[in-house]
């Protein structure tokens, strides 16, 4: 094999699309998916590629420094693409420490492991840290996040991601580690765990359950189709400038209420329901504490320097996403059984 790459969090939502992109596009690379399989990790996400000879799965927890080092010594990766994380803001509000452990300590464990195995020979090596636009905090009604925007996280999730970004840069500045970072806007698409807004609403529309909209629904997010995020990661991993960050987004802002109405409109059509029926499920609920008003990415740098652009419009991506959930209701049934019910009850019914 020409290269070996460890992708952490490869059984999760975005990670599984990144693993698929790399395994199929680069048969000459050995792709090692390292994931501890938390509630958010699901090997069913990778059923179609798990038989391929350039793919290996390893169950491991990035908070376990010794185990991580042993794996890195065994596989000697040339590259790391780091996505493993606790990723849900609402869960970070009830259990911040889990976010510190995985997102901060776990990231530092990976940085230490590559430092040890790469020694000071960084030729052909790269550590790609996958982060979020939420590190920048909130925008008012105008403006966009650029790579120069100061960090100003508000939730325990975004604070832990901001901290991990700082460690990655510190290892570049202090030890010369070859790193790149990407800070992406909200993703949507197949295999998204139904604790996040879009898949939660798809699941509830299918089951005629209320669609919980926090506060007045005027909060704005910038949405990117997950496969377009995977394409951006491929581009930055291979062509990004050492030590640089790249914001990733598609200039696609929606208020939550408008987005859910569009989702209802498309689902009424696909389910042959009369127009407006799903929107009747919309239900305004108590706001999330510390809720950021607006995120919006200025993607000029990645577009200009690396020639990036998204492959689908939001309407197309949303339509593909709904079709995937309609065709994979067994996936949805599996992930919403058991512990999901406890989470849902605590978050929405108490
Ligand atoms: P996810 O929650 O769907 O998946 C996370 C994966 O990490 C799971 O497979 C889980 O099992 C694994 N994991 C968690 N803790 C681990 C540990 N201690 N050791 C090993 N594996 C562990 O998350 P996602 O939405 O796919 O996000 C992936 C990355 O992208 C995260 O770093 C997140 O901060 C970032 N990101 C997400 C979004 C988004 O909209 N979802 C946007 C921008 C950036
Ligand atoms: P989410 O999908 O949790 O992503 P993030 O918090 O990382 O942006 O939430 C997207 C937006 O939708 C955010 O403004 C919170 C809001 N939201 C609701 O209104 N209701 C919900 O049930 C959820 C999960 C989110």
Helix (H) or strand (E) holding 71: helix 65-75
Residue 108 CB–ligand 2 contact under 6 Å: no
What ligand has the least distance to the C-alpha of 185? 1
pLDDT band at 92 (very low <50, low <70, confident <90, very high): very high
Task: Give ∠ CA 198-199-203 in degrees, rounded to 5.
Answer: 120
Question: Is the pLDDT assigned to residue 201 strictly greater than 80?
Answer: yes
The verdict on whether 78 is a catalytic residue reads no
Residue in 157, 246, 308, 343 annotated catalytic? 157
pLDDT band at 1 (very low <50, low <70, confident <90, very high): confident
Residue range 272-312, pLDDT digits in tens? 999 999 999 999 999 999 999 999 999 999 999 999 999 99
Task: Look at residue 307 and tell me if it is in a domain.
Answer: yes
Residue 256 CB–ligand 2 contact under 6 Å: yes
Question: Is the pLDDT assigned to residue 316 strictly greater than 90?
Answer: yes
Local structure of residue 36 (DSSP, 8 states): -
Residue range 170-199, pLDDT digits in tens? 999 999 999 999 999 999 999 999 999 999
CATH number of the domain where residue 64 is located:
3.40.50.720
Pocket test for ligand 2, best of 12, 256, 262, 297 (most atoms within 8 A of CB): 256
Task: Look at residue 286 and tell me if it is in a domain.
Answer: no
- Report residue 96 as tokens: 């911040």
Domain carrying residue 80: 3-188+224-249+294-311
Task: Look at residue 140 and tell me if it is in a domain.
Answer: yes
| CA 220–ligand 2 middle distance (angstroms) | 10
Q: Which are the contacts of 111, defined by CB distance < 8 A and separation ≥ 6?
A: 127, 167, 168, 171, 177
The number of folded domains in the chain is 1
Q: Residue range 35-62: average pLDDT? A: 98
Residue in 35, 134, 222, 234 annotated catalytic? 134
CA distance 350 to 344: 9
Is pTM, for the whole model, over 0.95?
Answer: yes
- Report residue 27 as tokens: 């048969």
Residue 221 CB–ligand 2 contact under 6 Å: yes
Task: Look at residue 282 and tell me if it is in a domain.
Answer: no
- Give alpha helix (H) positions in 208-313: 226-239, 256-270, 300-306
Task: Look at residue 284 and tell me if it is in a domain.
Answer: no
| CA 3–ligand 2 middle distance (angstroms) | 38
> Strand, helix or coil at 88?
coil
Distance of CA 141 to the CA centre of its chain: 25
| CA 143–ligand 2 middle distance (angstroms) | 21
Residue range 148-169, pLDDT digits in tens? 999 999 999 999 999 999 999 9
Cβ contact 256:211 at 8 Å: no
The dihedral through the CA atoms of 18, 24, 27, 32 has a sign that is positive
Task: Look at residue 55 and tell me if it is in a domain.
Answer: yes
Task: Look at residue 169 and tell me if it is in a domain.
Answer: yes
The verdict on whether 348 is a catalytic residue reads no
CA distance 185 to 181: 13
Going by DSSP bridges, is the β-strand pair 55-59/29-35 parallel, antiparallel, or unpaired?
Answer: parallel
Residue 201 burial (CB count, 10 A): 25
The verdict on whether 133 is a catalytic residue reads yes
* pLDDT at residue 350 in the model: 76
The dihedral through the CA atoms of 241, 236, 157, 95 has a sign that is negative
Cβ contact 220:293 at 8 Å: yes
Pocket test for ligand 1, best of 12, 82, 105, 193 (most atoms within 8 A of CB): 12
């Amino acid at each position: 094999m020409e290269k070996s790459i460890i992708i952490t969090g490869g059984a999760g939502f975005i990670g599984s699309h990144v693993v698929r992109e790399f395994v199929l596009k680069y048969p000459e690379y050995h792709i090692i998916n390292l994931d501890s399989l938390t509630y958010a990790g699901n090997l069913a996400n990778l059923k179609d590629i798990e038989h391929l000879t350039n793919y290996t799965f390893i169950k491991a927890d990035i908070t376990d420094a010794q185990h991580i080092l042993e794996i890195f010594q065994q596989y000697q990766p040339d590259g790391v693409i780091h996505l493993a994380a606790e990723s849900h803001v609402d869960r970070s509000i009830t259990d911040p420490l889990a976010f510190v452990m995985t997102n901060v300590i776990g990231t530092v464990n990976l940085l230490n492991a590559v430092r040890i195995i790469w020694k000071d020979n960084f030729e052909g090596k790269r550590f790609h840290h996958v982060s979020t636009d939420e590190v920048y905090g909130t925008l008012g009604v105008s403006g966009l996040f650029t790579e120069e925007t100061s960090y100003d996280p508000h939730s325990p999730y975004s604070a832990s991601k901001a901290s991990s970004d700082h460690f990655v840069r510190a290892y570049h500045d202090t030890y010369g580690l070859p790193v790149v970072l990407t800070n992406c806007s909200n993703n949507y698409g197949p295999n998204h765990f139904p604790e996040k807004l879009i898949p939660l609403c798809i699941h509830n529309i299918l089951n005629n359950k209320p669609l919980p909209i926090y506060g007045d629904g005027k909060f704005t997010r910038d949405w990117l189709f997950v496969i377009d995020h995977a394409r951006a990661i491929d581009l930055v991993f291979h062509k990004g400038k050492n030590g640089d960050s790249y914001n990733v987004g598609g200039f696609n802002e929606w208020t939550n209420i408008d987005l859910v109405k569009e989702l209802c409109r498309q689902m009424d059509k696909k389910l042959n329901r009369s127009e407006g029926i799903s929107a009747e499920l919309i239900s305004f609920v108590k706001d999330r504490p510390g809720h950021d008003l607006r995120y919006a990415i200025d993607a000029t740098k990645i577009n200009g320097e690396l020639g990036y652009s998204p492959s689908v419009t939001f309407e197309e991506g949303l339509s593909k996403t709904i079709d995937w959930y309609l065709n994979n209701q067994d996936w949805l049934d599996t992930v919403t059984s058991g512990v999901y019910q406890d989470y849902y009850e605590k978050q929405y019914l108490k």
